[in-house]
Amino acid sequence: MIKARDAANLEMVSVWDKSIPETAEVVHWAKTGSSSVAWQRWLHWKQELGLGDDLKTIELGCGYGKISLLFGLSGAQTMLFDYNEAALTSAEAAHAKLGLNPRLLGGDLLNLPAELHGQFDVACSFGTLEHFFGDNRSKAVAATASVLRPGGVFFVTVPYRYATWYRIGFGARYWLGLMARGMKEKPFSRAELGRLADDAGVEILELESVTTFWGDFQDWIGENLMSLTRKVTGWPQRVQPPTEVGIEGLDVSALRQLAPRSYLDRHFSYSLLLIGRKRPDRS
């Protein structure tokens, strides 16, 4: 197996080891993911661009491949790519619980197999690009775009540099010992992500923060406090996975009316989404 070349990623192989999730947890991912802002914005642009369901998609740095669950349920031919064999094994098991059989491939994002170049309608990553630094940062963005056919969709999220609660919460979690010391990431500004995507031949369709300011407070401050309390006292107990085990009634193609987003949501929340299209003049 080829490991990621970035030094920070080499230190973190064990952190990304994944356990096999319960069926109820996988169902929960699909149901919550289908109503997320990121997926709803994908559905909007899918409609705007006149794309069908039989798409070839690849999720780079896939982890469990949560977004690929939705693509698979939509009828896409999905590929999961990661440098960690344990992540791919767990992702395969998670997808099988919903009757999905994605293609799996291990390797290094900075040294992709030549046969992947220009082959996909959608290339996505969620929580991957921020783990690259220096020159490897632009190379990682370019590699993500390189697997797209001309006109293919570039669909990524990264942490936003000016997300208030994320910056406070991540720093606190690190120094309180609630996460591995080797875990390093560098968030993006809109300008940097947009520039690197443009350099990689991507026409930007949308570049926006998609979480909420107060939701981030709960995730990054409230969760930190609970994690610290749990570490010291053993309480509160972790929430058990939801008991629902079926996907009856789930419609991953349904466009929903999103709640209005405030100025704070758009400019200071955690997850920065970029949806773009590979320019026809780029191979």
Architecture of domain 7-254+268-278 in this structure: 3-Layer(aba) Sandwich (3.40)
Q: What is the pLDDT of residue 226?
A: 75
pLDDT tens for each residue of 178-202: 666 666 899 999 999 999 999 999 9
Q: How far apart are CA 190 and CA 272, in angstroms?
A: 8
Q: What average pLDDT does range 114-133 have in this prediction?
A: 96
Going by pLDDT thresholds of 50, 70 and 90, the confidence category of residue 232 is low
**Residue of 108, 91, 200, 79 lying closest to 150 (CA atoms):** 200
Report the percentage of the chain scoring pLDDT > 90: 70
Q: Give the total residue count for the chain.
A: 283
Q: How far apart are CA 266 and CA 216, in angstroms?
A: 12
Given a cut of 80, is residue 3 above it in pLDDT? no
Going by pLDDT thresholds of 50, 70 and 90, the confidence category of residue 12 is very low
Residue 218 carries which DSSP code? Answer: I
Q: What is the pLDDT of residue 10?
A: 43
Looking at every residue in the chain, the average pLDDT score rounds to 88
Going by pLDDT thresholds of 50, 70 and 90, the confidence category of residue 223 is confident
